[in-house]
């Protein structure tokens, strides 16, 4: 099923938790969950 999803969508951004917090939550000093990834995908 992953192969079909790759054909029907396009990843626009792939970043780590700290990058996401820096960009979208700059005033929140939390740390942790560095192993999580954030992906923004456009579905075709």
Q: pTM higher than 0.85, yes or no?
A: no
Q: Three-class SS string for the chain?
A: CHHHHHHHEEEEEEEEHHHHHHHHCCCCCCCCCCCCEEEEEEEC
Q: What is the pLDDT of residues 19-34, one digit of tens each?
A: 888 888 888 877 778 8
**Is the pLDDT assigned to residue 5 strictly greater than 80?**
no
Q: Which of 33, 7, 9, 8 is nearest to 19 (CA)?
A: 33
Residue 6: the pLDDT is 60
Distances (CA, A) of 2 to 16, 29, 33: 21, 35, 25
Residue 15: the pLDDT is 84
28: left (phi over 0), alpha (psi -120 to 50) or beta: beta
């Amino acid at each position: 099923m992953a192969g079909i999803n790759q054909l029907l969508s396009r990843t626009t951004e792939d970043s780590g938790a700290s990058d996401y917090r820096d960009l979208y939550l700059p005033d929140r000093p939390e740390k942790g969950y560095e192993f999580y990834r954030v992906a923004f995908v456009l579905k075709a």
